[in-house]
């Protein structure tokens, strides 16, 4: 038997998380407990547009696109923030991406950035 949230509670938490922390920042390693470790050279945060949570999962409904990235690097993680600059850290996760060169465009397509919570069964 798996432990976790009820599906309804998970959906409520995920919808609140997406609303409170919509700004996405890229990282080249684990962002750590404060969300500030291993920042990418590309510092621009992009505002995610999230669909409603369903079945304990939430996903973006529009592309997140960084044009003319600031440096050559390999994005491996993201962090979620309450504001486009400064603000409160709300969580982090991993991304799977190819390395980028300075000046490239990096896109996380709609439906490819997901938030999930464990559900009791």
- The confidence score (pLDDT) of residue 1 equals 57
Name the residue ranges covered by the structural domains of the chain. 7-115
Helix, coil or strand: residue 114: strand
Closest Cα to residue 69, out of 46, 95, 85, 96? 46
Element containing residue 23 per DSSP (H, E): strand 23-27
**Is the entire prediction scored with pTM above 0.85?**
yes
3-state SS track over 32-82: CCCCCCCECCCCCCEECCECCCECCEEEECCCEEECCCCCCECCCEEEEEC
Q: Both tokens of residue 53?
A: 């949570």
Mean pLDDT by 10 residues, the chain (121 residues): 91 97 98 98 97 97 96 97 97 94 97 96 89
- The confidence score (pLDDT) of residue 2 equals 81
- The confidence score (pLDDT) of residue 83 equals 98
Count helices and strands (H / E) in the chain: 1, 8
- The confidence score (pLDDT) of residue 27 equals 98
């Amino acid at each position: 038997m798996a432990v976790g949230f009820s599906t309804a509670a998970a959906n409520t938490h995920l919808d609140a998380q997406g609303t409170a922390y919509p700004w996405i920042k890229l990282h080249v390693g684990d962002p750590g407990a404060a969300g500030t470790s291993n920042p990418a050279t590309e510092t621009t945060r992009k505002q995610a547009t999230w669909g409603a949570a369903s079945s304990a999962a939430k996903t973006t409904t529009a592309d997140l696109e960084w044009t003319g990235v600031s440096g050559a690097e390999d994005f491996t993680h993201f962090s979620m923030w309450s504001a486009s600059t400064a603000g409160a850290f709300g969580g982090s996760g991993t991304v799977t991406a190819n390395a980028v060169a300075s000046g490239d465009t990096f896109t996380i397509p709609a439906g490819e950035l997901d938030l999930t919570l464990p559900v009791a069964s």
